[in-house]
Structure 1
């Protein structure tokens, strides 16, 4: 049985990388819905249909131990209904806004939460903000362009940095203590983002928390054993060999 990581594209590879580091001997399957990426530009109903179809495709070929929806957008619009539909564990992503606020509390600085536009407007994200002690200290920024860059394999360079500069321009970043990467695609751009923000700003994401939750639900403990290569199967909704090679290449380039 395999632990499945699902995303619209390459972003969820960053979450699976963290899982492989802690649990190198487990068997994994990575599935990218490259037919419909990016999710952030689709409706809630469309995204749910995409995800359900992809999970059915996975289940027709493999036995599944759990599915990690390694996509904040898919989690925000579909995870509750997916848990009702399937009996195996389904683990979603959550932007690391709460821990970011905790980190900046003493400094009095603000938190900038970035995500796809669909994630930011969904009820799940608003409910998350509603649970916080100081939601008024959180500002949001949609960065859909980073998804497009990641899917094109452009993780740094003049175009990326100019896009980020334009998006950050309306914000006085000196007032912020942390930036939250609320889309797994954005994790690929940590280095570029760090170069453009004040040195005191922390860059935070939800990957570690997601893997920790996965381990808790599956009752797994971090392994000290070493394997030369993790056991990973790559799949995509397009189903092409080129897609599979692209996913494996992106995974191997992760630090």
Structure 2
């Protein structure tokens, strides 16, 4: 059986990348709800409906576990999904807790990039209220980054002016940590690093979510030896167009490149050896 990955669009690829690195012999099915992207600009009721329709589809394909690779969908539907289904369901949420701990030590603030719907959602606000005793967390919705990603637009000359405009009201020197609270955002870490000071940490929950998936599968004794294949679906339709499949491959290549930029040179050889798993 396969591991299901679900997102409103291509953002969940930033989590799938880490799963492919960590569990290269599992088989995957990736569902992008491109018919309804972006979720972050829609109502809670609509998003919940879309999520359950997508997960029902994945269940019919026969999955053994589900990764909700979308912060907005996790905050809105994870609890009810776990009540309905008996297979492991792994969600993702902004890495606020480690960000607060890091920035408190530095005497600096935390900036959380997210979607408008997540920013309004009770679960996110409760999380911040519970952890942010010193009131050092600020939130900023960046819907434009989702739109850029869905157009496969990663050119810094296009993306940087948008980020600069959105960040203009903020004193960037006050921040020690930036949290990427939408899975589309890690595609733009390289541009973000040109805007913030070198010592600012830019973190997301993708790797931690993949590690949680691995721990959950191990605990449930659900590991299997597959081929590392990925079947892609767009709102229920299997992706078979060679050009589109190549685009998905290029997304994983971009994530590999961004990973290498952050990794010591001594580790890159090890990463490059796994490329044949990343691009099935």
Indicate whether the TM-score tops 0.5: yes
CA-CA distance at 1:156 after TM superposition: 2.5
Q: Which residue does 1:224 correspond to in 2?
A: none
5 Å-filtered alignment, 1:66-85, equals: 66-85=65-84
Query: C-alpha deviations, 1:128-150, integer Å up to 9, x for none?
Result: 11220535100010000000000
Runs of 4+ that moved beyond 6 A: none
Q: Which residue does 2:248 correspond to in 1?
A: 247
SS in structure 1 at match of 2:106:
coil
Query: C-alpha deviations, 1:92-131, integer Å up to 9, x for none?
Result: 1110111011112221100000100101110110121122
Inter-partner Cα distance in structure 2 for 1:17 and 1:42? 27
Q: Which residue does 1:223 correspond to in 2?
A: none
Cα gap change, 1:186 to 1:4, in 2 (>3 Å): same
CA-CA distance at 1:31 after TM superposition: 0.8
CA-CA distance at 1:254 after TM superposition: 2.5
Does residue 29 in structure 1 map to residue 29 in structure 2?
yes
Moved more, 232-241 or 30-39: 232-241
Moved more, 201-210 or 244-253: 244-253
Say whether the 8 Å CA contact 2:70–2:183 is kept in structure 1.
yes
Inter-partner Cα distance in structure 2 for 1:198 and 1:111? 14
Q: For the aligned residues, what is the CA RMSD?
A: 1.8
Query: C-alpha deviations, 1:157-198, integer Å up to 9, x for none?
Result: 322110000011111010100100000000000000001111
Say whether the 8 Å CA contact 1:234–1:248 is kept in structure 2.
no
Q: Which residue does 1:236 correspond to in 2?
A: 234
Inter-partner Cα distance in structure 1 for 2:133 and 2:209? 23
Cα gap change, 1:58 to 1:248, in 2 (>3 Å): farther
The structure with the greater share of residues assigned to helix is 2
SS in structure 2 at match of 1:180:
strand
Say whether the 8 Å CA contact 1:129–1:135 is kept in structure 2.
no
SS in structure 1 at match of 2:135:
helix
Inter-partner Cα distance in structure 2 for 1:133 and 1:219? 33
Query: C-alpha deviations, 1:44-94, integer Å up to 9, x for none?
Result: 11001111111112222x211110000001111111111111111111111
Say whether the 8 Å CA contact 1:156–1:189 is kept in structure 2.
no
Number of equivalenced pairs? 248
Inter-partner Cα distance in structure 2 for 1:150 and 1:196? 19
Gaps of 5+ in 1: 221-226
Cα gap change, 1:45 to 1:135, in 2 (>3 Å): farther
Q: Which residue does 2:152 correspond to in 1?
A: 153
SS in structure 1 at match of 2:29:
strand
Q: Which residue does 2:140 correspond to in 1?
A: 141
Moved more, 189-198 or 99-108: 99-108
Moved more, 176-185 or 210-219: 210-219
Inter-partner Cα distance in structure 2 for 1:79 and 1:105? 30
Gaps of 5+ in 2: 220-225, 257-280
5 Å-filtered alignment, 1:124-135, equals: 124-134=123-133
Inter-partner Cα distance in structure 1 for 2:251 and 2:117? 25
Inter-partner Cα distance in structure 2 for 1:125 and 1:143? 16
CA-CA distance at 1:230 after TM superposition: 2.7
